[in-house]
Amino acid sequence: MGRRIAHSRTRAGLSRSELAQAVGADPSYLRYIEEENAAPGTAVLLRIANALGVSLAELRGTAAGYPDGRGRAAAHPVLEEMGEEECRRRIGAHGVGRVGFTTETTGPVILPLNYTLIDGELTLRSTPRGPLAHVAGGTVAFEVDRVDEALGAGWSVLATGTLRRVTDPARTEALERAAWSAPWAGGDRTTWFTLRPERLTGRIIRT
């Protein structure tokens, strides 16, 4: 659990002191949780999860391998629209999302991809002749979400805009340096694409 908390904190761009302040804990206690693999109570974990924008199940490691939607609805859920600033904060600096587009031959297509948010742009990598190469220059949608099975809560953010293929070598090199991770799928995914959101919307279920 400590490693999952440390990983989520790094992904959110927070220092240990910043996270400790956000959850009302001493930094030394947070260090103990991360490094000694301690098992804090549910109340502390909930505060950490909320501050990091992840689910309680993710921190506990119980979400992997199970489909979403197994939990029950909360007693009094509230569905709210999120503003652009909160949407950007929820997306974070990097993660995994789903790109959606339509082609004449296959119709609607949705693909999961790693992404890194750089200078306000969603940056993606794919193969030189893959599906993204065929829709570059067109409008695509990109969705990121998180769910918390334990609380029946979650959020989703949808970005739409023009997908552009990166052809400048200097820009490609800069993206390579800034990328959080290589594509999980591996292979020859060395071609970069960018999406600057022209519309950014989101919804959140609070409990």
Task: Look at residue 201 in the predicted model and tell me its pLDDT.
Answer: 97
Residue 19 lies in a domain: yes
- Structural domain containing residue 177: 79-206
Residue 66 lies in a domain: no
Residues 44 and 104 in one domain: no
Instruction: Please write the tens of the pLDDT for every residue from 79-110.
Output: 999 999 999 988 876 788 999 999 888 899 99
Residues 137 and 178 in one domain: yes
Average pLDDT over residues 106-123: 93
Q: Which residues of 33-50 are buried (b: 16+ CB within 10 A; e: fewer)?
A: bbeeeeebeeebbbbbbb
Task: Look at residue 64 in the predicted model and tell me its pLDDT.
Answer: 54
Residues 143 and 197 in one domain: yes
Residue 126 lies in a domain: yes
- The pLDDT confidence band at residue 174, using thresholds 50, 70 and 90, is very high
pLDDT at 6 > cutoff 60: yes
The rounded distance, in Å, linking the Cα atoms of 18 and 180 is: 21
Residues 166 and 202 in one domain: yes
Instruction: Please write the tens of the pLDDT for every residue from 55-85.
Output: 777 787 765 555 666 667 778 889 999 999 9
Task: Look at residue 79 in the predicted model and tell me its pLDDT.
Answer: 94
Residues 103 and 42 in one domain: no
Torsion angle of alpha carbons 173, 177, 179, 185, nearest 10°?
70
The amino acid that residue 21 corresponds to is Q
Residues 195 and 132 in one domain: yes
What's the domain count of the chain? 2
Task: Look at residue 63 in the predicted model and tell me its pLDDT.
Answer: 59
Cα dihedral across residues 17, 22, 146, 116: positive or negative: negative
pLDDT at 46 > cutoff 80: yes
Q: Is 47 helix (H, G, I), strand (E, B) or coil?
A: helix
Q: Which residue has the higher pLDDT, 2 or 136?
A: 136
Residues 133 and 97 in one domain: yes
Residue 67 lies in a domain: no
Residues 20 and 99 in one domain: no
Task: Look at residue 3 in the predicted model and tell me its pLDDT.
Answer: 81
Residues 125 and 26 in one domain: no
Q: Which residue has the higher pLDDT, 195 or 49?
A: 195
Residues 127 and 185 in one domain: yes
The CATH number of the domain holding residue 109 is: 2.30.110.10
Residues 200 and 106 in one domain: yes
User: Is residue 189 within 8 Å of 125, Cβ to Cβ?
Assistant: yes
Task: Look at residue 65 in the predicted model and tell me its pLDDT.
Answer: 55
Residues 38 and 84 in one domain: no
Residue 39 lies in a domain: yes
